[in-house]
């Protein structure tokens, strides 16, 4: 096939069945991240921590997020081969059912130790989300559509945090902290039906895909540099420099992401004097920035067939924004700087996944995505606890943003080789 013909073929999408994958990726990440919004709001509200007996222990409060993130990262190293063996459809569907059960247990029990155990189990099982999505995107989308496809699940997780903060605040006000867990358990059942109705592990297994759309996807995959080998778990990616560069960027960016996400409501209330209700509402603003950046910039990544410059740009703005927070006296200026930096974290992180998917063989994509996530989450898991400890001993969260600014500097340095390779 000539280059001209190839360009003509891939410029005319045929069929829309592959976009059903967007629906389940959005729903899966919406539910996975709703419980994380739940914890950050409950920590700020006070009633939950009093029931667990940790109202005055900021370190233990941070541990609720750190325990989740650490075991999320640990599980990520091993989840890829399981996805390859069982298939993303079953792995995702059964885990969604499990998450609902865990939410119900957390609503029924007020023991801190039980909640930590539940958070650990959630971390171990929710780790499959990113590798499952990477596997589905690699299977169902041509290379030139993958930035937008990854943008969908990033929008899902950010929309969850955006909607989740006011939703959980409302649920807590109406149902109490335990009732908020029960409500989320019920909501978790919805994507189970969508998963088994819409997700198929291979193009050939889908009963409704047209021959034209299947050919369109196949032609689009000809853009990949690497061969599409038989689906046997491979660890060749560990020898590739791009994997380790992406891991460094993702690790330091996630450290900033989870530090901000866990403590933002508390920061707005304690450092800038917002009421609990107003602080909860304003905590949603950074997620609006995230979604806006994804909608605007992921199509441009595909259009210019270049992702690494967006990674670097996002990390640069993140670094500047975090240092601005430390000198901002006006609360709305501080919130604007946090929102800008938060949006750039998400943009930079989203750009890493199409880079990985385009650089890896199909035999290793789920495992590579899992290990990328594992490195990042194990490293970043300490930051909610570290920031809580700093808050406890320094009496303020302001100094923590210096630490997040340093994270941004490290990320910038790791992105530069990827830019030079025009990834």
CA 81/CA 91 separation, integer angstroms: 11
154 Cβ neighbours under 8 A, 6+ residues apart: 29, 290, 294, 346, 349, 350
4 within a domain of the structure (yes/no): no
Please tell me which of 28-32, 80-84, 243-247 the model is most confident about, judged by mean pLDDT: 243-247
SS3 283: coil
The answer to whether 234 and 371 are in contact (CB under 8 A) is no
Per residue in 88-107, pLDDT tens? 999 999 999 999 999 999 99
What was the pLDDT predicted at 121?
93
Lowest mean pLDDT among 51-55, 279-283, 364-368: 279-283
Q: What are the angstrom distances between the C-alpha of 324 and each of 263, 265, 292, 401?
A: 18, 19, 21, 9
For 260-271, what is each residue's pLDDT tens digit? 877 776 777 676
In a domain, 384, yes or no: yes
Looking at per-residue pLDDT, the higher value among 269 and 297 belongs to 297
Count of domains for the chain: 1
Least confident of 138-147, 167-176, 180-189, 226-235: 226-235
In a domain, 138, yes or no: yes
With bands split at pLDDT 50, 70 and 90, how would you rate the model's confidence at 327?
confident
385 domain-assigned = yes
Q: Mean of the pLDDT values across residues 150-171?
A: 83
Whether the per-residue pLDDT at 115 is higher than 70: the answer is yes
Helices (H), 305-399: 308-327, 331-359, 365-380, 382-394
d(CA 359, CA 225): 7
Please state the φ and ψ torsions of residue 368, each to the nearest 5 degrees: -65, -45
CATH of the domain at 262: 1.20.1250.20
Q: Is residue 62 part of a domain?
A: yes
Identify whether 1 is part of a domain: no
Average pLDDT (39-45) is 78
9 domain residue, yes or no: no
Tell which phi-psi region holds residue 273, choosing left (phi > 0), alpha (psi between -120 and 50) or beta: left
In a domain, residue 232? The reply is yes
Domain that holds residue 364: 16-420
Are 149 and 21 in contact by the 8 Å Cβ rule? The answer is yes
Average pLDDT value for the chain: 83
136-153, pLDDT tens digit by residue? 998 888 888 888 888 888
pLDDT for res 227: 45
Q: How far apart are the first and last CA of the chain?
A: 24
Whole-angstrom Cα distance, residue 77 to residue 16?
A: 33
């Amino acid at each position: 096939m000539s280059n001209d013909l190839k360009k003509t073929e891939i410029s005319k999408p045929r069929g829309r069945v592959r976009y059903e994958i967007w629906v389940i990726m959005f729903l899966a990440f919406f539910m996975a991240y709703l419980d994380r919004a739940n914890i950050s709001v409950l920590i700020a509200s006070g009633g939950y921590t009093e029931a667990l007996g940790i109202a005055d222990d900021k370190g233990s409060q941070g541990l609720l997020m750190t325990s989740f993130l650490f075991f999320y990262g640990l599980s990520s190293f091993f989840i890829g081969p399981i996805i390859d063996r069982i298939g993303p459809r079953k792995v995702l569907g059964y885990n969604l059912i499990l998450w609902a059960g865990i939410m119900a247990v957390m609503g029924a029990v007020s023991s801190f130790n039980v909640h930590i155990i539940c958070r650990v189990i959630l971390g171990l099982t929710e780790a499959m989300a990113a590798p499952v999505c990477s596997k589905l995107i690699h299977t169902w989308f041509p290379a030139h559509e993958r930035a937008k496809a990854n943008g969908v699940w990033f929008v899902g997780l950010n929309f969850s945090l955006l909607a989740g903060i006011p939703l959980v605040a409302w649920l807590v006000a109406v149902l109490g902290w335990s009732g908020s867990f029960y409500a989320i358990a019920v909501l978790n059942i919805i994507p189970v039906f969508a998963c088994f109705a819409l997700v198929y592990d291979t193009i050939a297994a889908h009963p409704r895909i047209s021959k034209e759309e299947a050919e369109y996807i196949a032609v689009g995959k000809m853009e990949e540099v690497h061969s599409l080998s038989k689906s046997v778990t491979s660890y060749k990616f560990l020898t590739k420099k791009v994997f380790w560069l992406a891991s460094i960027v993702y690790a330091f960016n996630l450290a900033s992401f989870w530090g901000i996400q866990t403590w933002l409501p508390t920061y707005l209330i304690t450092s800038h004097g917002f009421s609990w209700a107003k602080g909860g509402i304003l905590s949603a603003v950074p997620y609006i920035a995230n979604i806006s950046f994804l909608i605007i910039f992921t199509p441009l990544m595909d259009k210019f067939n270049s992702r690494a410059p967006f990674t670097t740009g996002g990390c640069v703005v993140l670094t500047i924004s975090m240092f601005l927070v430390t000198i901002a006296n006006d609360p709305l200026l501080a919130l604007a700087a946090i929102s800008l930096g938060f949006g750039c974290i998400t943009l930079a992180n989203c750009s890493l996944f199409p880079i990985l998917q385009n650089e890896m063989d199909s035999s290793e994509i789920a495992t590579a995505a899992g290990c990328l996530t594992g490195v990042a989450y194990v490293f970043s898991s300490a930051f909610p606890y570290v920031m809580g400890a700093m808050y406890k001993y320094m009496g303020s969260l302001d100094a923590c943003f210096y630490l997040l600014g340093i994270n941004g500097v490290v990320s910038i340095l790791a992105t530069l080789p990827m830019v030079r390779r025009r990834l």
